[in-house]
Amino acid sequence: MTIVMCFGTFDILHPGHIYFLREAKRLGDYLIAVLARDSTIKEVKGITPKYDEKQRVEHIRDLRIADKVVLGYEADKYEIIEEMNPDVIALGYDQQAFADKLKEEMAKRKMEPKIVRIRSYKEEHYKSSKLR
């Protein structure tokens, strides 16, 4: 079984998020969606999410695309990867904060998941920062 892991805030759900999750799911047999903690969103994006982390988890679960939906860790953002040990990590076309050190962190932890960038879906219309 091929385990795929993807990451996101998924605050204001839109068709781009659904596209991203479906494309990530196509990369394997089992998809784990990891949602950013409220504190991480404040730290990285400098904003407070519209929906709190528990609500966002429920919203993603309700889509029934991901097989498992979990919150990331606050202290070590990469620990969840080590814990779940995915074969593939799917990243959004615009994910930078988490992704910039991903290969380096995986090497430190002696892990070699395949890292795949999912292309954008109508980015001119469906980008969270534009929908706020």
d(CA 84, CA 81): 5
Write down the pLDDT at residue 128.
52
Q: What angle do CA 121, 28, 10 make, to 5 degrees?
A: 40
Write down the pLDDT at residue 99.
80
Closest CA to 72 of 63, 84, 61: 84
d(CA 130, CA 6): 22
Q: What string of pLDDT tens digits covers the 132 residues of the chain? A: 999 999 999 999 999 999 999 999 999 999 999 999 999 999 888 999 999 999 999 999 999 999 999 999 998 989 999 999 999 999 998 888 778 889 999 999 999 999 999 998 866 555 554 444
Write down the pLDDT at residue 120.
85
Structure-block tokens of residue 75: 């202290």
Strand partners for 32 = 5, 68
* Architecture in CATH for domain 3-131: 3-Layer(aba) Sandwich (3.40)
Q: Can you give the residue ranges of every domain in the chain?
A: 3-131
d(CA 86, CA 106): 11
Length, in residues, of the chain: 132
Strand partners for 115 = 89
Residues 81 and 111: beta-carbon distance below 8 Å: yes
